[in-house]
Amino acid sequence: MNLPPLVETFVLHFGEMGGRWGVNRAVGQIYALLFVSDRALNAEEITDALGISRSNTSIALKELDAWRLVRRRHRPGDRRDYFETPEDVWQILRTLVEERRRREIDPTLSLLRDILLESPASTEERHAQARMGEMLELMELATRWAEDLQKLDNTSLRQLLALGAGVSKLLELKSKVPIFGSGARRRDTEESA
């Protein structure tokens, strides 16, 4: 591996961590490399920098593409693809949340909806359905939340994170201020806009 020591440490770490979040080592390493690189890199450069095979690079890049975590760029007079990560880390966060939702939540959501349509044939099944119903409700909330997150601009997203548990204080406030309180909610928020 032919990299500045500081970058190499980072790249190796991401390779290891890759396993914990469902991608292989090469995918993790390439992502890390592109993230800290000050320019877009082509597949050949990536292969050399990481000491992996060219085909491995190709497959890993395809995977990163599927996750929408890298962009392809082109240079005039050069047919090669150059890869880079988005500059904006907030955008990266949005993409991650979105993709994880799509892969980890959505398939289960539709399964749960299907199962809950069936009639239980026993007490056990009735209980099982009740539990699945609880899970569905929570997942639907989480999904909607993740969708909403996509719409927030960087500043709001940062504020939202920074707020943290403070949100409960804010929610108290909301219920105390008449025009934001519960009841006739839709109309009221329209008026306030």
Binding residues for DNA (CB under 7 A): 19, 24-26, 42-44, 52-56, 58-62, 77-81
Quick check: 85 and 70 in contact, CB under 8 A? yes
Nearer to DNA (CB atom), residue 33 or residue 60: 60
178 binds, among DNA, a copy of itself, none (CB under 5 to 8 A by kind): none
Residue 174, CA distances (Å) to 61, 155, 160, 167 in order: 46, 21, 16, 10
Both tokens assigned to 155: 């500043």
In the bound complex, what is the minimum distance in angstroms from residue 16's beta carbon to DNA? 10
Helices and strands counted in the chain (H then E): 10, 3
168 binds, among a copy of itself, DNA, none (CB under 5 to 8 A by kind): a copy of itself
Nearer to DNA (CB atom), residue 80 or residue 169: 80
Quick check: 90 and 98 in contact, CB under 8 A? no
* Window 130-149: residues binding a copy of itself (CB under 8 A): 131-132, 134-135, 137-138, 141-142, 144-145, 147-149
